[in-house]
């Protein structure tokens, strides 16, 4: 019997039978079965399946230890809240809106998708559903255009999670004819009135998100969880690169692995580095160079190409990058 059923049965059995004669001697009433007073958190955890989601998060994402810790803390809090509700101890629906702050390519969108799955498995959203948008999806370019655009996005996201990337672009005070404020007002109203049926996750650079919250305190008051995504270490970026290559059926050998490590040491010190996103772009360019190298060899009468050649990213494919044409910042000057 479930806890809810046990509670219902206890309520039904409390009190004297309806057909008992009023003038008959009253026997001492039997003690009603006690309502459920405990819950098996471990069983609740297993039944929810969130352990599988958290395990996938650990396996699929390199590094990000503080982010994974915070996600586990949020999941544990929501699990306990669900247990409290089952015992009649609900304190009201928890506020679930979040802010993911960090540089590009640090896994914010991926973690948002995992968070949506956790919330769905715990019953806090109706659908395992994430709608990812930017300013252009919410803000119109003329009067009367913003409200329907914003409401259409909210309608699509309702019952799930709305992920707004680079959310600070919604606010542009320098432009008097900007319509972002209208979108902000609609979002704030929906985040408050529909918080039991929609979770909003704002994302963007940490410094810009802080300015955005200072300019829009209504957002700050509605955000319960602020999670900071750190940049990846060089060793983590190299592991990410090898994982990406593996999914595409490519590989490094010892020489090309060293070359890519050298590439990373240089690239992360240059402007506009975007962590895993820049790694993917670098690998795409290396694959283009590999294809060009293999094709040029075939035209010159080379041997048929085998699997090993088709899958190998050579060191020359990496070192042909323009990154190696520039001096390594912070390196010792030549003697």
Task: Report residue 317 CA to chain centroid gap.
Answer: 33
pLDDT at 40 over 50: yes
Least confident of 34-48, 65-79, 104-118, 245-259: 34-48
Average pLDDT score over residue span 175-202: 90
Choose between 18 and 241: higher pLDDT.
241
Let me know if residue 24 belongs to a domain: no
Kindly state the average pLDDT of the residues 221-248: 95
> Is 330 part of any domain?
no
The whole domain housing 304 covers 234-325
100 plus 143 within the same structural domain: yes
pLDDT value of position 70:
93
CA–CA gap between residue 95 and residue 162 (Å, rounded): 14
User: Of 174, 209, 229, at which residue does a domain stop?
Assistant: 229
Q: From CA 238, how far away is CA 256, in angstroms rounded?
A: 11
Phi, psi of 132 (to 5 degrees): -105, 125
Residue 277 lies in a domain: yes
User: Mean pLDDT for the chain?
Assistant: 86
Lowest mean pLDDT among 5-14, 95-104, 247-256, 311-320: 5-14
In this prediction, residue 8 carries a pLDDT of 38
Least confident of 3-17, 46-60, 162-176: 3-17
Q: Check whether residue 102 and residue 201 sit in a common domain.
A: yes
Q: Which residues pair with 200 in a beta bridge?
A: 162
| Distance from C-alpha of 198 to C-alpha of 207, rounded to nearest angstrom | 26
Query: Does residue 215 carry a pLDDT above 70?
Result: yes
- The verdict on 98 and 178 lying in the same domain is yes
Backbone angles phi, psi at 38, to 5 degrees: -150, 160
- Please say if the pLDDT value at position 2 is more than 80: no
> pTM value?
0.80
CATH number at residue 117: 3.40.50.300
Pairing of strands 161-164, 312-313: unpaired
Shared domain check, 219 and 141: yes
Tell whether the model's pLDDT for residue 17 goes beyond 50: no
287 and 259 co-located in one domain:
yes
Whether residue 243 sits in one domain with residue 225? no
Overall number of domains in the chain? 2
**Contact in structure between 129 and 157 (CB atoms under 8 Å):** yes
Considering the domain architecture, whether residues 127 and 206 belong to the same structural domain is answered as yes
Residues 223 and 249 in one domain: no
70: nearest Cα among 84, 83, 59, 57: 57
**Cα(93)–Cα(85) distance, integer angstroms:** 10
Q: Strand 199-204 and strand 161-164: pairing?
A: parallel
How many degrees, rounded to 5, is the angle at CA 246 between CA 230 and CA 303?
Answer: 140
Measured CA to CA in angstroms, residue 138 lies from 134, 197, 201, 240, 298 at distances of 7, 19, 15, 33, 50
Q: What's the confidence (pLDDT) of residue 300? A: 84
């Amino acid at each position: 019997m479930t806890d809810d059923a046990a509670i219902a049965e206890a309520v039904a059995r409390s009190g004297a039978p309806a057909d008992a004669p009023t003038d008959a001697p009253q026997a001492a009433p039997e003690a009603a079965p006690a309502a459920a007073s405990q819950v098996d958190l471990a069983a609740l955890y297993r039944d929810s399946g969130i352990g599988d989601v958290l395990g996938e998060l650990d396996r699929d994402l390199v590094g990000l230890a503080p982010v994974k810790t915070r996600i586990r803390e949020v999941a544990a809090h929501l699990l306990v809240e669900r247990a409290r509700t089952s015992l009649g101890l609900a304190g009201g629906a928890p506020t679930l809106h979040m802010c993911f702050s960090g540089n590009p390519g640090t896994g914010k969108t991926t973690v948002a998708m995992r968070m949506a799955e956790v919330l769905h498995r715990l019953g806090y959203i109706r659908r395992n559903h994430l709608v990812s948008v930017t300013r252009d999806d919410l803000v119109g370019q003329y009067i009367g255009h913003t409200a329907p655009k914003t409401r259409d996005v909210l309608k699509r996201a309702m019952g799930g999670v709305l992920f707004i990337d680079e959310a600070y672009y919604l606010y542009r005070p320098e432009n008097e004819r900007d319509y972002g404020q209208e979108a902000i007002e609609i979002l704030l109203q929906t985040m408050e009135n529909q918080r039991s049926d929609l979770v909003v996750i704002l994302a963007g650079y940490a410094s810009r998100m802080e300015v955005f919250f200072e300019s829009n305190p209504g957002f700050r008051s509605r955000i319960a969880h602020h999670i900071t995504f750190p940049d990846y270490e060089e060793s983590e970026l190299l592991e990410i690169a090898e994982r990406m290559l593996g999914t595409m059926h490519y590989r490094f050998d010892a020489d090309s692995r060293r070359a890519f490590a050298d590439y990373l040491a240089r690239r992360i010190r240059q402007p506009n580095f975007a962590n895993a996103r820049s790694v993917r772009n670098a690998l795409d360019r290396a694959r283009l160079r590999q294809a060009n190298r293999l094709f040029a060899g075939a035209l010159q009468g080379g041997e048929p190409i085998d699997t090993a050649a088709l899958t190998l990213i050579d060191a020359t494919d990496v070192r042909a990058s323009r990154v190696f044409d520039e001096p390594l910042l912070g390196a010792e000057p030549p003697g």
